[in-house]
Amino acid sequence: MSDQGLDKDRKRMRKVFSRPKSLKEVPFHYCPGCGHSILHRLIGEVIDEMDLQERIIGVPPAGCAVLAYNYFDIDMGEAAHGRAGALATGLKRALPDRVVFTYQGDGDIAAIGTAETIHAAARGEMFTTIFINNGVYGMTGGQMAPTTILGQHTTTSPGGRTGKRDGYPINLSEMLALAKGSVYIERTALTSPANILKTKKAIAKAFRTQLEELGFSLVEVLSPCPTNWKMSPVEAWKWIDEVMAKSFPVGVIKDTTGEKRDAH
């Protein structure tokens, strides 16, 4: 086919897949098979579809996603390790008509930031938390996280995590569901096209919960870390579904949005 013919074909082609406009034209730095890139894209798609780019503010954590502001084309304010819940509280209280979300890893939210998270949920702060759980401290090289499951090998749980020596993993989302101020908490996994779509739906629902001022919302996303798990991306997906999800079952953990809406 001549070049001219190609050009004609291109003109006839409809663009069916492109970068969300709330993501910058910057390639992700994340490792091959890492879930951050997928999750960033999902959030970007939801922001576009809900037309939130001009009224949303994100709070990235310390951890692998600390550079999220390099990728999101939205306002973002970086938090110290674990402090996103408190920072977002200050932001959202100052700007109640904007949409505020934090993006936090398991170490950030369930170890050093536990207090900030539990109390933000208890107060019913009207922001959304995207909690990405890969069971390790990724950025620092794969140390044991509060969500490392029993038996899982990390650089600081040699031979596998044991309850007696290392303590037990924390199911933070289930704990947060007990808080009176939380209204919507769902755990999803980035392990198949279907599950990725479920994650996107959950994010959209969490943002809607916030827009309706119903209370605190959180989506926990089980996410692969092939580098630190020392697996191939495909093995990592399988491991989440077959092993990790036994400790962290996916599904809706709490949804009182209906009752809250009625009460309003």
Partner 1 sequence: MRGNHIIGEAAIRAGCRFYFGYPITPQNELPEYMAERFSKLDGGVFIQAESEIAAINMVIGASMAGGRAMTSSSSPGISLKQEGISFLAALELPAVIVNMSRGSPGLGNIAPAQSDYFQATRGGGHGDYRNIVLGPNSGQELANLTFEAFDLADTYRIPVVLLGDGMLGQMMEPVEFPLEVQIRKLPHKDWTLTGAKGRPSRFIRSLLLDPTEEEEHNWKLMRKYERISKDLVRYDTFALDDSKMIVVAFGTAARIAKGAIKRVREQGLKVGLIRPISLWPFPSKTIKEVAKRARYFFVFEMNMGQMVEDVKLALEGSGEVHFYGRPGGIIPTPLELSRVIASQYYQKRLG
Q: Residue 254 pairs with which residues in a beta bridge?
A: 185
Between CA 120 and CA 87 the distance in angstroms is 10
Residue 236's contacts (CB-CB under 8 Å, 6 or more residues apart) are: 33, 224, 225, 226, 229
Query: Is residue 58 within 8 Å of residue 75, measured between CB atoms?
Result: yes
Asked if residue 178 binds partner 1 (CB under 8 A), the reply is no
| Half-sphere exposure for 174 (CA within 13 Å, toward CB) | 9
Report which DSSP code applies to 100. E
For partner 1, the closer of residues 182 and 195 by Cβ is: 182
- The piece of 7-15, 72-80, 129-137, 191-199 that touches partner 1 (CB under 8 A) is 72-80
Interface residue with partner 1 among 34, 38, 42, 92 (CB under 8 A) is 92
Tell which positions 5-44 bind partner 1, by CB under 8 A. none
Q: Residue 216 pairs with which residues in a beta bridge?
A: 182
Interface residue with partner 1 among 38, 65, 89, 101 (CB under 8 A) is 89
Between CA 72 and CA 133 the distance in angstroms is 20
For partner 1, the closer of residues 36 and 161 by Cβ is: 36
Interface residue with partner 1 among 38, 64, 76, 221 (CB under 8 A) is 76
For partner 1, the closer of residues 29 and 261 by Cβ is: 29
For partner 1, the closer of residues 125 and 186 by Cβ is: 125
Helix (H, G, I), strand (E, B) or coil at 72: strand
Asked if residue 93 binds partner 1 (CB under 8 A), the reply is yes
Asked if residue 126 binds partner 1 (CB under 8 A), the reply is no
- Judging by DSSP bridges, how do beta strands 136-137 and 216-222 pair with one another? unpaired
Interface residue with partner 1 among 78, 174, 212, 241 (CB under 8 A) is 78
Interface residue with partner 1 among 28, 37, 50, 67 (CB under 8 A) is 67
| Residue 68 C-beta: closest distance to partner 1, Å | 9
DSSP E strands in 135-249: the ranges are: 136-137, 143-144, 182-189, 216-222
Asked if residue 86 binds partner 1 (CB under 8 A), the reply is yes
Asked if residue 137 binds partner 1 (CB under 8 A), the reply is no
- Of the candidates 145, 153, 149, 162, the one whose C-alpha atom is nearest the C-alpha of residue 104 is 145
Helix (H, G, I), strand (E, B) or coil at 188: strand
- The piece of 63-71, 136-144, 202-210, 245-253 that touches partner 1 (CB under 8 A) is 63-71
Q: Tell me the residue type at 59.
A: V
For partner 1, the closer of residues 114 and 247 by Cβ is: 114
For partner 1, the closer of residues 78 and 255 by Cβ is: 78
For partner 1, the closer of residues 47 and 240 by Cβ is: 47
Tokens matching residue 6: 């190609």
Give the C-alpha distances (Å, rounded to integers) separating 248 from 49, 157, 166, 189, 251. Answer: 29, 19, 18, 10, 9
Binding footprint of partner 1, residue count (CB under 8 A): 37
Interface ranges with partner 1 (CB under 8 A): 53-57, 59, 62, 66-67, 69, 72-80, 83, 85-95, 98, 115-116, 118-119, 123
